[in-house]
Amino acid sequence: MAVANACPFERAIQSTEFDCAQSRKTFVGEKENVICSNLDARQDCVSLVSQLKANARFALQLNTAHGLLTHGQEMRLKSGGLRGLQTLPRAARSRDIHELVTHAIAEFNSIEQFPYPELVKAISRYKRRRDS
């Protein structure tokens, strides 16, 4: 069941690797959902995920830009892309997704102008944390 205003980075937030000041958690039964409370910020995140997916097709071994992602591919794309934003020169070193995206937009003027080759490198290097 689709949730209205679902956060595009829901799994990155649920993994506790990142958080977001614009998100809030809701529960439907036992399922935890992450909802974005700022529609403008959500649209920026949706655009970022779309651009990351289009630019990282080779790194994710995708045949089409519109194909469904496995859980592992989705984590590599989103968490790896956010880690890439953290490593850019003059980047915010925050775990807060809204702060990372807002700072990067201010730095590069638009999501389309982000340095995607650098972000794709971070996506390629991303390894999920292993629970001990």
Which amino acid is located at 108 in the chain?
F
pTM of the model as a whole: 0.90
64, pLDDT greater than 80: no
26 burial class (0-12, 13-18, 19+ CB within 10 angstroms)?
exposed
Predicted confidence band of residue 129 (pLDDT cuts 50, 70, 90) = low
Q: What is the DSSP letter of 69?
A: P
Q: What confidence category does residue 127 fall into, taking pLDDT thresholds of 50, 70 and 90?
A: confident
pLDDT in tens, 105-126: 999 999 999 999 999 999 999 9
pLDDT at res. 104:
95
pLDDT tens digit sequence for 22-60: 999 999 888 999 999 999 999 999 999 999 999 988 888
| CB-based burial, 79-109: b 16+ in 10 Å, e otherwise | bbbbbbbeebeeebebbbbbbbbbbbbebee
In the predicted model, what is the mean pLDDT of the chain?
A: 90
